[in-house]
Amino acid sequence: MSFCNAVVLITGGSAGIGAATAEVFAKEGASLAIVGRNKEKLNAVAKRCQELGAKTLTIVADLTKDEEADSIVKKTIDEFGKLNVLVNNAGIFRQSGIMADEFLTSFDEVMNTNIRAPVRITRSAVPSLIETKGNIVNVSSIAGTNVNRPTFIAYKTSKAALNHFTRCVAFELAPHGVRVNSVSPGPTRTNIFEGSTVNADTLLEKTALLRVSDPVEIADLILYVASDKAKSITGSNYIIDNGSMLK
Ligand SMILES: NC(=O)c1ccc[n+]([C@@H]2O[C@H](COP(=O)([O-])OP(=O)(O)OC[C@H]3O[C@@H](n4cnc5c(N)ncnc54)[C@H](OP(=O)(O)O)[C@@H]3O)[C@@H](O)[C@H]2O)c1
């Protein structure tokens, strides 16, 4: 599954699933552009990727700011000359009920990060992906499919939108030879739930296998979906959730 000579752009590459994804692509020989707001964390991930032999570009950007989201593909092309794979991974989780005073503020924050940013980045990446017959992997969530927690409205709505965006863009880009898929993790051990009433361990009991994933497990699936081994797969949503959806 070699990615030698491939250029991979990963948003949210400074932590969690995005950082693990950068490392698995680095091991397969890809050149990487990794994006996040935290420069120190990005540099630490870049160092690990470079130790694995990867050329690495770090891009500090807040993807909720249109001009910063729009700049990341150009910066990647300026550095590496092309783009083969876009991984729209950056995302946030917020908890708020529909009747809460802060609901709309929280809703806008989540929608801007989890769906508006991937839409903008996809638009700017498409011409380059058509040139390389590349592909997109959107990191969604089982939250985009299930409805089991009342205060997760914004997050679940954003991921349902991302799932449908994935299918619609897959259909439009298929004639151009560009594949578009999503990967939907269940509970995974990262910092995304900080500040909320849940964490990966409280969600463990919701899984059929009674286990929570490590980020590298999600990264390995992203790698597969982005690879030529998955050349017949487009418009699909791959659930990787330790059986959470069974309960
Ligand atoms: N962990 C889980 O249980 C789980 C389950 C299902 C789906 N997911 C999905 O997996 C993806 C990755 O999440 P994670 O669990 O790895 O969380 P994480 O450890 O909190 O990492 C989130 C990443 O997104 C970046 N990010 C967030 N807002 C950003 C912004 N405005 N601009 C640029 N970068 C931004 C963060 O970078 P900076 O802080 O440097 O900006 C960080 O690199 C998300 O889409 C999430 O919804 C996670």
Confidence of residue 227 (pLDDT cuts 50, 70, 90): very high
Q: What residues make up the domain containing 66?
A: 7-246
Inside any domain, residue 194: yes
Is there an atom of ligand 1 within 6 Å of 144 CB? no
Is there an atom of ligand 1 within 6 Å of 154 CB? no
Average pLDDT over residues 35-39: 98
Does residue 221 surpass a pLDDT of 90? yes
CA-wise closest residue to 91 among 72, 114, 63: 114
Q: Give me the chain's average pLDDT, please.
A: 97
Is there an atom of ligand 1 within 6 Å of 38 CB? yes
Inside any domain, residue 145: yes
pLDDT value of residue 199: 85
User: Which residue from 10, 11, 17, 21 has its CB within 8 A of the most atoms of ligand 1, so it is best to mutate?
Assistant: 17
pLDDT by residue (tens digit) across 136-150?
A: 999 999 999 999 888
Is there an atom of ligand 1 within 6 Å of 21 CB? no
User: Which residue from 37, 93, 108 has its CB within 8 A of the most atoms of ligand 1, so it is best to mutate?
Assistant: 37
Per the structure block, which two tokens stand in for 52?
A: 């694995």
pLDDT value of residue 113: 98
How many Å lie between the centroid of ligand 1 and the Cα of residue 182?
Answer: 15
pLDDT value of residue 182: 99
pLDDT value of residue 202: 86
Does residue 1 surpass a pLDDT of 80? no
Is there an atom of ligand 1 within 6 Å of 17 CB? yes
Average pLDDT over residues 198-213: 90
pLDDT value of residue 149: 87
pLDDT by residue (tens digit) across 59-93?
A: 999 999 999 999 999 999 999 999 999 999 999 99
The domain that holds 196 is classified in CATH as: 3.40.50.720
Inside any domain, residue 144: yes
Inside any domain, residue 97: yes
Number of domains in the chain: 1
Inside any domain, residue 216: yes
Does residue 200 surpass a pLDDT of 90? no
Does residue 103 surpass a pLDDT of 80? yes
Average pLDDT over residues 121-126: 98
pLDDT by residue (tens digit) across 84-97?
A: 999 999 999 999 99
pLDDT by residue (tens digit) across 175-197?
A: 999 999 999 999 999 999 998 98
Per the structure block, which two tokens stand in for 172?
A: 């439009």
Does residue 224 surpass a pLDDT of 90? yes
SS3 sequence of 159-221: HHHHHHHHHHHHHHHHHHCCEEEEEEECCECCCCCCCCCCCHHHHHCCCCCCCCECHHHHHHH
Inside any domain, residue 2: no
Backbone angles phi, psi at 202, to 5 degrees: -70, -25
pLDDT value of residue 159: 98
pLDDT value of residue 35: 99
Inside any domain, residue 1: no
Residue with tokens 């994804």: 21
For residue 60, list its beta bridge partners. Answer: 36
CA-wise closest residue to 60 among 102, 97, 14: 14
Q: Which residues are catalytic?
A: 155
- At 79, which amino acid appears? E
